[in-house]
Homo-oligomer: A and B are copies of this chain.
Amino acid sequence: MSDPFVVVGGDAAGMSAASKARRAAPDRDIVVFERGEWVSYGACGLPYYVKGEIQSLEDLVSVTPEEFREERDIDLRTGHEVVAIDTDERTVTAESESGTVVQPYGHLLIATGAESVVPPVDGVDREGVYTLGSMSDGKELREYVARARDDADLQQPDRGLACRYLEDCTGPVAVVGGGYIGIEMAEALAANDFEVNLFQRGDRVLKGFSDETSEYVAEHLRDEDVVLHLDAEVRALSGDDRVEAVVTADDRIEVEMVLLGTGVRPRTDLAEAAGIELGETGAIAADAYRETNVPDVYAAGDCAEATHVVTGEPAYVPLALTANRHGRAIGRTVTGTPTEGGDIAGTAAVKAFDSEAARTGILDPEEARAAGFDPVTETVTAKSRAGYYPADGTVTVTLTADRDSGRVLGASLVSEYGEGAVHRSHAIVAALEAKATVTDVENYDLAYAPPFNTTWDPVLVAAKVLAGTLRDTDMEP
C-alpha cells in the first residue's frame, strides 16, 4: 500500500506496464489514471474503422476497462485527468467529475501519448475539419462518412461539378498530409466513394520512405483516383461556419470535409511542469530503462523519445510496438527486475490500396552524414516469386549502407499487397539491430522456394547490388 505503481495514461505503454507489473507483483498497488473513457485501444485500426472494415469501435479494444479492473486487479480510473506531478512529495494530482485526488506513488510512469498537430493556418477550427488522434475522432469521422453517403444518395445530381473524376462520388474531400495516416485515410475515404484530394507540402508522399517507394505508392494512389497535390502547402481552409475549400498558393479546391494527417507531437506539458527533462527531439528523455532524469519516474510511448539503434542518438518515432515494449519493460523494472526497453529502428509499415510498403533505419543522406556515416544507396526491383512461377509480382528494395564499414543503415521496400515487402523488411530490421554489414546480409541463408521468391530473395538481390557498388567505389582514388 505504501509503494504504489502509478501510471498516467491508459493506452499501449501505460496498460502494458500495469499488466506486466501485475503479473510480476500480485500484491502491488497499481493505479492508472486515464482522462478519457477508452483504454488499451488500437488507434492504428481507426482508418479501417472509418473505412467500414471494422464494425465497432469496441473491436479495437484489446482489453476492456472492466477486464483490467476485475481480471487484472488494476485500479484503473477512467475520466481522471492528472493535472500535476509533485516529484518531491512523490504524488500526482488527478481531477475527475467526483473531485480531486492526490495519489502517492512509489514508481510513476508518464504515458501521456501524443496529440495531432494542427497546422497554423486560417480555418482549421471550421466545422468539417477533422483529425484522427483518438477514438472519439474515429467515431466522428465514421459518422461523417455515413451521413455524407446518405446525403449523396439523395442529392447525387447536384454534386456532379465538385466531383470531377468519379462517377458515383460521395463528395470531394481533402486529406492534408501524405504520411501513413494520410494515406490510410485516403484509402478509407476512397473506399466510401469520396473523391479524395491529398495535399502534401513536399514533393512526394511518405517522405520517410525512399523516393522509389514514394513513387510506387503515389502511382497506386493515382490509379485509385486519388487526386495528388504535391508541393502544395495548405494556406487556409476557407468557408463560412463549415469548411468549403482548401486553399494553396496555386489552387483552391472545393471540398466538403478536411482530414488533417499532419503528424503528432508528444504531450509533455505535465512532465515539463514537474521538472522532468525533455530531449532535443522535444519528447521526454529517458535512459535505457526508460527512467527520466527524476528517479523512479519513467516515460514511455508516444510522449517519449527512444534511442535509435543505427545512430545511437535519441529519436522521436511514436509507434505502437515501442510503446508496448517499453511499457512492458518498465512493468518488470518497477517490480524488481531491471529490464532495458530496447532501441528503436524507426520501422514503419503502411498498406496503400493494393500496395504495401515498409521502411526502417536511416535512409536520408543528410541524417546519415550527421550521424557520422557516408551513405551509399541502391534500389533494385526483383521478382517476388520465381520467374517461372505463375505470378508476376515484384518487390522494390532500397538499401543504404555506410561506405567504409559496409554497415547497413536503412531500407525501404514496396510491393503489391501480398507480395511481401513488409514481412521481408523484418530481415533488414534484424540486420540493423545486429549492426550487420551488406556482405553479412548478402550471405543470409534466407528461405527459398518458387512460390515465395527467387533463389536470391529481393532482399539479397539488393544486398548483392549494394555490396558491388561499395566494392567498386572502394577502388576509386
A360 touches B445 (CB 8 A): yes
A87 CB, min distance to chain B CBs, angstroms: 29
Cα A356 to Cα B444 with chains together (Å):
20
Cα A325 to Cα B439 with chains together (Å):
12
- Chain A: interface size category: 35 or more
A448 CB, min distance to chain B CBs, angstroms: 5
Q: What string of 1s and 0s marks CB contacts (under 8 Å) between A248-286 and chain B?
A: 000000000000000000000000000000000000000
A199 at the interface (CB under 8 A from B): no
Copies in the complex: 2
A60 CB, min distance to chain B CBs, angstroms: 5
With a CB–CB cut-off of 8 A, which chain B residues contact A365? none
Cα A440 to Cα B430 with chains together (Å):
9
A445-B344, A446-B347, A452-B349 known; A420+B417 contact, CB < 8 A:
no
Cα A426 to Cα B445 with chains together (Å):
9
A165 at the interface (CB under 8 A from B): no
A324-B455, A423-B423 known; A430+B449 contact, CB < 8 A:
no
Per the 8 Å Cβ criterion, residues 201-241 of A in contact with B are none
Among B319, B429, B455, which residue has its beta carbon within 8 angstroms of that of A427?
Answer: B429
With a CB–CB cut-off of 8 A, which chain B residues contact A389? 45, 48, 53-54
Among B59, B340, B349, B444, which residue has its beta carbon within 8 angstroms of that of A448?
Answer: B349
With a CB–CB cut-off of 8 A, which chain B residues contact A425? 446-447
B447 touches A358 (CB 8 A): yes
Cα A346 to Cα B448 with chains together (Å):
11
Q: What string of 1s and 0s marks CB contacts (under 8 Å) between A167-186 and chain B?
A: 00000000000001000000
Among B53, B349, B427, B451, which residue has its beta carbon within 8 angstroms of that of A430?
Answer: B427
Cα A211 to Cα B364 with chains together (Å):
44
A345 at the interface (CB under 8 A from B): yes
Per the 8 Å Cβ criterion, residues 383-397 of A in contact with B are 386-390
With a CB–CB cut-off of 8 A, which chain B residues contact A388? 42, 45, 48, 54, 59-60
A473 at the interface (CB under 8 A from B): no
A44 touches B450 (CB 8 A): yes
With a CB–CB cut-off of 8 A, which chain B residues contact A445? 309, 321-322, 342-347, 360, 429, 433
With a CB–CB cut-off of 8 A, which chain B residues contact A426? 423-424, 426-427, 430, 444, 446-447, 457, 459
A382 at the interface (CB under 8 A from B): no
Cα A62 to Cα B435 with chains together (Å):
34
A422 at the interface (CB under 8 A from B): yes
The 6 closest A-B pairs by CB, nearest first: A342-B443, A434-B434, A430-B430, A423-B423, A426-B427, A349-B447
